[in-house]
Amino acid sequence: MTKPVVAIVGRPNVGKSTIFNRIAGERISIVEDIPGVTRDRIYSSAEWLTHEFNLIDTGGIDIGDEPFLEQIRQQAEIAIDEADVIIFLTSGREGVTSADETVAKILYKTKKPVVLGVNKIDNPEMRDQLYDFYALGFGEPFPVSGSHGIGLGDLLDEVAKHFPKDEDAEYDENTIKFSFIGRPNVGKSSLVNAILGEERVIVSDIEGTTRDAVDSMYTYEDQDYVIIDTAGIRKKGKVYESTEKYSVLRALRAIERSDVVCVVLNGEEGIREQDKKIAGYAHEAGRAVIIVVNKWDAVEKDEKTMKVFEQTIREHFLFLSYAPIVFLSAKTKKRVFSLLPVIQRVSENHAMRVQSSILNDIISDAVAMNPTPTDNGRRLRIYYTTQVAVKPPTFVVFVNEPELMHFSYQRFLENRIRDSFDFEGTPIRIIPRHRK
């Protein structure tokens, strides 16, 4: 199920990041814990009632040295490109400003739903300020106070009304959805072109409706695939597209819609922090992951080069120890087609279900080999383990006290499961749950 994307836009100081943090809450993500990855959050998963969605604070995307108005204009365009629903945020303290009108003019161009929020309405008396905001032309303004946490429920109710139906359901269950993600210039578009250019591949574009997606379907050796468009792959040229933060947003969008994500690295340049951040999101989202080292043609090599690069990747991407690594060249097409069977394999692993009886034997053997941890004289007891979901494979372990399941022991169990089943390319999740 693809989560809808909600973007907050508005001129500086209306309270976008305050509202973002309120809605996103204190979710701690694995990505933020990767050393060296900066903590400037502009993107978070969020929940409202039964809805799960992704939230973007476009105010956090700096667009180089552009003048102020140009920045907010481009941020609004990013919202239009990326979001399913846009929250246009203004401030009741300052009233409608000309910068608000600039944002409004850009948002008039989209057919996407826009919900108008008026922030800093900290008390009921201030509601009189709201009437001016009808003039912006987005219907009823929703009063909120980011600092006091007032009104967000009504605003989010309105936002949730506009969430699209899940469009990806239109693809057949057996079709593998995958994407190439990565920093600008690693060669994502070249890879798509290298695959689609091949004769044995049948191409047909499906025009997305509200999602603006241009997906490419093709069949290779009897397997149907859909390449999920990233990087605005076939419509490049906007100023903000070369900014790193935007490339992360694009990646997130593609990750959401994919089963398998190919994290593309530039073999010529080596690994950058941004690569880890992008890969971290794919891991966190529970997608199958392949690390693709592109531009391998441009690397001066001897017989050790590949091994050394592989080790460097393993050191930098500890959280992706399960991901296969493929070295290739979009330019010469060398090994480009060997990637497809790897995608197919990890996709199968991602959707694999294992038998409970075998699973429980493995866990019993594991416990016999390495006794469960104790704390203050209490010992973790494992009663029963069962697979509750696929994509990614998710296991619930029924225990006496979930707190006793230390991270290291969980990792040990994960490794035992991995030793017994082929989960190459897919993250697996283990959830300890209390049972009396």
**What is the rounded end-to-end Cα distance, in angstroms, of the chain?**
33
189 is in an annotated binding site: yes
**Taking contact as CB under 6 A, which single stretch among the options 7-15, 80-88, 159-167, 388-396 is the one that binds ligand GDP?**
7-15
User: Taking the CB of residue 102, how many other CB atoms lie within 10 A of it?
Assistant: 17
Stretch that binds ligand GDP, among 140-148, 154-162, 315-323, 341-349 (CB under 6 A): 140-148
DSSP secondary structure string, 218-285?
EEETTEEEEEPP-TTTTS---GGGGSHHHHHHHHHHHHHH-SEEEEEEETTTB--HHHHHHHHHHHHT
List all residues 6 or more positions away from 139 whose beta carbon is below 8 Å from its beta carbon. 116
User: Under the criterion CB under 6 A, does residue 119 sit at the interface with ligand GDP?
Assistant: yes
Q: Kindly tell me which residue out of 164, 184, 270, 373 binds ligand GDP, with binding defined by CB under 6 A.
A: 184
Nearer to ligand GDP, 30 or 298 (CB): 298
Q: Counting contacts by CB under 6 A, is residue 189 touching ligand GDP?
A: yes
The DSSP string of 317-369 is TGGGTT--EEE--TTT-TTTTTHHHHHHHHHHHHT----HHHHHHHHHHHHHH
Give how many residues touch ligand GDP by CB under 6 A: 31
206, 189, 229, 185: which is closest to 81 by C-alpha? 229
Per-residue tokens: 193: 């072109």
Among 72, 84, 103, 120, binds ligand GDP (CB under 6 A): 120
Instruction: Return the residue of 29, 45, 102, 185 that touches ligand GDP, per CB under 6 A.
Output: 185
Biggest distance spanned by C-alpha atoms of the chain:
74
Which positions from 147 to 166 touch ligand GDP by CB under 6 A, shown as an x/- string? x-------------------
Residues 8-27 close enough to bind ligand GDP by CB under 6 A: 10, 12-18
Q: How far apart are CA 186 and CA 263, in angstroms?
A: 10
Gyration radius (Cα) of the chain, Å: 24
Among 47, 62, 66, 122, binds ligand GDP (CB under 6 A): 122
The secondary structure of 148-174 as a DSSP string is TTBSHHHHHHHHHHTPPP-GGGGS-TT
Q: Is 151 annotated as a binding residue?
A: no
The annotation status of 270 as a binding-site residue, yes or no, is no
Residues of this chain, 281-310, that bind ligand GDP according to CB under 6 A: 294-295, 297-298
User: What is the nearest approach in angstroms of ligand GDP to the Cβ of residue 60?
Assistant: 8
Q: Does 402 appear as a known binding residue?
A: no
Is 13 annotated as a binding-site member?
yes
Query: What value, to the nearest 5°, has the Cα angle with vertex 51 and ends 46 and 56?
Result: 35
Tell whether 84 is in a known binding site: no
Question: Cβ neighbours of residue 226 under 8 Å, at least 6 residues apart?
Answer: 171, 175, 176, 177, 178, 215, 216, 217
Asked whether residue 296 is marked as a ligand-binding residue, the answer is: yes
**Distance of closest approach, residue 230 Cβ to ligand GDP, in angstroms:** 8
Rule CB under 6 A: say whether 231 interacts with ligand GDP: yes
Is 120 annotated as a binding-site member?
yes
59 neighbors 15 (Cβ within 8 angstroms): no
* Annotated binding residue 182: yes
Binding mask 74-113 for ligand GDP (x = CB under 6 A): ----------------------------------------
Contacts 24+ apart (CB under 8 A), 375-382: 375/403, 375/404, 378/404, 379/404, 380/404, 380/405, 380/409
Residues written for the chain: 436
Q: Kindly state whether residue 59 participates in binding ligand GDP, applying the rule CB under 6 A.
A: yes
Is residue 400 part of an annotated ligand binding site? no
Supply the minimum distance, in Å, between the C-beta of residue 12 and ligand GDP. 4
Rounded to 10 degrees, the C-alpha dihedral 185/339/177/298 comes to 0
Nearest distance, CB of residue 341 and ligand GDP, angstroms: 20
**DSSP symbol at 69:** H
- Based on CB atoms, which residue is closest to ligand GDP, 21 or 223? 21
Interface with ligand GDP includes 253 (CB under 6 A)?
Answer: no
Binding residues for GTP: 10-17, 57-61, 119-122, 182-189, 229-233, 294-297
Binding residues: 10-17, 57-61, 119-122, 182-189, 229-233, 294-297
| Interface residues toward ligand GDP, by CB under 6 A | 10, 12-18, 59, 119-120, 122, 145-147, 182, 184-190, 231, 294-295, 297-298, 329-331
